[in-house]
Amino acid sequence: VKAAMENPIDSPRLRELARGRKNCVVIISDHTRPVPSRDILPNLFAELREGNPDIDITLLVATGFHRPTTRAELEAKLGREIASSVPIVIHDCRDPEANVRVGVLPSGAPCLIDRAAAEADLLVAEGFIEPHFFAGFSGGRKSVLPGICDQTTVLGNHCSRFIDSGHSRTGILDGNPMHKDMIAAAKLAKLAYIVNVVIDEDKKTVAAFAGNYVTAHRKGCEFLLGYCRVKPAYADIVITSNGGAPLDQNIYQCVKGMTAAEASCKPGGVIILCAECADGHGGESFYKSLRDCACPRALYDEFMATPQDKTIPDQWESQILARILIKFRVVFVSRPEMKPIIEDMKMTYAASLPEAVALAKSWGKESVTVIPNGISVIVRD
């Protein structure tokens, strides 16, 4: 991280950007992201204060559409010292008083960001780059949209038309309409600098990229593509997971892992996903939309008929899960308490992986592909 910050991509050093600024707002990821903030932030703080010893630093937690991060989660993520000594603002996308309009996105959606970011003298972001199932990759501009945007902006960007685009897929930036909006949001927010890392399966940093929010992020994405791109191994049954905690905490997050299996599963095949789901379904409207629909196809068609400005919370996750369920059977392996929720959401419950495989084979499926961590790979020919 330190080496990346000493050699920023297409940007002055952060210490130079800090000179003459009264304050700096640092956007950080929330409790759902395994970003090694304990490693990144001390380096970031040191360089800010090297350039300006008196600069006031505030952390802005990019919760996006997620629930607020708790105090205990902040301490676990940041360490008690940082969590108790640096002012922290937790973004609330649903509070109209907390967000201000800064412009309009290419999609036509209004761009509203957290007031703390809009009023910052210097706005920077930390984060990590991983494959993302509709934004192409996480990191970079995603710290702003959806990270610190108002719900109106997030809903407009996550509309059914964009989710339906063949370019809104894992590992794709060029031609991706969601990415285009996100880049515009970062520009409107005046995001000046990023520090993004790539982590391995043990959550250890393997590479870091600092500097311009477009080009430094792109370099990181290119590195990641070489690091985790795999060709599909098509099979009747594809077994995967969401990579363990914290990203397997609910069904909502696990849709990401399913999309890797989607790219390797034969038509009419079976996707088996294993996850604890300690946090349940992960979204009330997400859960209810699948529970209450006649079938996944009817739900998908309903979403496609929904105008951009009528997008509802979690519609995008429901739309992607419906897309998968139209093409495949999904067997979800989880704790017993999840059984009624899983079945309500048009999936099949299994108490163990052997039980799930036996069930799939009873349906006449034979060949098997295993993707141990569905969110860590980019499956592409």
CATH of the domain at 68: 3.40.50.11440
Residue 47 and residue 122 in one domain: yes
| Catalytic member of 31, 132, 158, 179 | 132
Sign of CA dihedral 228, 241, 145, 24: negative
Residue 259 and residue 184 in one domain: no
- What pLDDT, on a 0 to 100 scale, did the predictor assign at position 120? 98
Question: What is the rounded CA–CA span in Å between residue 185 and residue 149?
Answer: 9
CB atoms under 10 Å from CB of 366, counted, come to 9
Question: What is the rounded CA–CA span in Å between residue 115 and residue 266?
Answer: 47
Residue 246 and residue 134 in one domain: no
Sign of CA dihedral 60, 61, 67, 73: negative
Q: Which residue has the tokens 């959606």?
A: 109
Domain total in the chain: 2
The segments of the chain whose pLDDT lies below 70 read none
Question: What is the rounded CA–CA span in Å between residue 238 and residue 260?
Answer: 9
Residue 252 and residue 178 in one domain: no
pLDDT of 170-189, one tens digit each?
A: 999 999 999 999 999 999 99
Residue 365 and residue 309 in one domain: yes
- Domain end among 167, 201, 228: 228
CA angle 131, 32, 285 (to 5 degrees): 95
pLDDT of 199-227, one tens digit each?
A: 987 889 999 999 999 999 999 999 999 98
Residue 198 and residue 67 in one domain: yes
Check if 132 is active-site: yes
3-state secondary structure of 295: coil
Residue 304 and residue 200 in one domain: no
Residue 50 and residue 87 in one domain: yes
Residue 239 and residue 193 in one domain: no
- What pLDDT, on a 0 to 100 scale, did the predictor assign at position 247? 83
Whole-model pTM: value is 0.91
- What pLDDT, on a 0 to 100 scale, did the predictor assign at position 66? 86
- Domain end among 182, 206, 228: 228
Question: What is the rounded CA–CA span in Å between residue 200 and residue 177?
Answer: 28
Check if 281 is active-site: no
Residue 168 and residue 238 in one domain: no
- Domain around 42: 2-228
Residue 176 and residue 256 in one domain: no
- What pLDDT, on a 0 to 100 scale, did the predictor assign at position 203? 84
| Contact indicator for 48, 57 with CB cutoff of 8 Å | yes
| Contact indicator for 207, 198 with CB cutoff of 8 Å | yes
CATH number of the domain residue 257 falls in = 3.90.226.30
- What pLDDT, on a 0 to 100 scale, did the predictor assign at position 136? 97
pLDDT of 246-301, one tens digit each?
A: 789 999 999 999 999 999 999 999 999 999 999 999 989 999 999 999 999 999 99
Residue 222 and residue 235 in one domain: no
- What pLDDT, on a 0 to 100 scale, did the predictor assign at position 335? 97
Residue 124 Cα distances to 96, 153, 210, angstroms: 23, 20, 10
| Catalytic member of 66, 179, 217, 281 | 66
DSSP 257-272: HHHHHHTTEEEEEEEE
Sign of CA dihedral 245, 246, 252, 257: negative
Q: What share of the chain is helix, strand, coil (3-state, %, to 5)?
A: 40, 25, 35
- Domain end among 228, 257, 289: 228
